[in-house]
Amino acid sequence: MIIKPRHPEKVKNKDNPIKKKPSWIKSKILDSKIFFETKQVVNQNKLVTVCQEANCPNITECWSKKHATFMIMGDTCTRACAFCDVKTGKPESLDVFEPLKISNAVKKLNLKHVVITSVDRDDLKDGGAEHFFKVVQATRKKNPETSIEVLTPDFLRKGESYKKILEADLDVFNHNIETVPRLYLKVRPGARYFSSLELLKNAKLFNKKVFTKSGIMVGLGEDKDEIIQVMDDLRSAKVDFLTIGQYLQPSTKHFPLKKYYHPNEFKELEHIAKTKGFLLVSSSPLTRSSYHADEDFKKLKALRVKKIECHQPL
């Protein structure tokens, strides 16, 4: 039996040694019983989670709190981002029962907030926007009290297909900018920085009620001024919520880690971002797009109300 490589496009890359993790980067498990209950629900419904596929360092903590980020449209991505651990290749056909499966899992786990993301599906005419819409609507129908966050691809060269998702009854529209413009061709060769900015800007214009959110990784070789420029660009696009987390190199074939940022540096970046006017900022070594997403959504709602009461621009 021939085992296909998980990342065929990276096989010929030169080996980049993985730097030893510092003491402040540690995952934790809070409740082993709930962790395995969450795992059982995911497995029984034959669902894919970004927690597993992207090798997230927070999986033990999140699953032991019944938090999971569901990844729809399969486990195989059509892109080949240099930082990502999700499998790449030719995806299978869409699962027509996936909207039902996701809605059932959210109900079973009794989630108050759910994050739904996906692989890139450049092979689909609309990039999978219609499927996203169906998953959100099915989830909303069965779980009317659950807040819904989507973490979407960039829908590059798919026209205005992204608008279909924003027609669904969702609460947070998230698309990660990931890194600074200078590194895009090496880190996100299939994406375009300003296209991602336009997506976030247009999402807010199309659905003013939805919170918009984006994230950036640090440690890829960017400098402080470049990070600040990304902050300014995202605020120009009216993004409400910014996440900043440490890049962790998945394997020796992935993009090389240049630096581990100290927690104090993350605090400094958080302070700078807050002065830019973001409604909410989450900045720490283990911060990821969906990390503490339920708690952050509550904060977003409260902060929006406070700004409105103070007659401040959002």
pLDDT (0 to 100) of residue 196 = 98
Whole-angstrom distance, CA of residue 119 vs CA of residue 87: 9
Q: With a cut of 50, which residues of the chain have pLDDT below it?
A: 53
CB 70 within 8 A of CB 109: no
pLDDT (0 to 100) of residue 66 = 61
Whole-angstrom distance, CA of residue 33 vs CA of residue 51: 18
Structure tokens at 4: 């296909």
Q: Put residue 260 in one of left, alpha, beta given phi > 0 → left and psi -120 to 50 → alpha.
A: beta
pLDDT (0 to 100) of residue 273 = 98
pLDDT tens, residue by residue, 88-131: 999 999 999 999 999 998 898 888 888 999 999 999 999 999 99
pTM greater than the 0.85 cutoff? yes
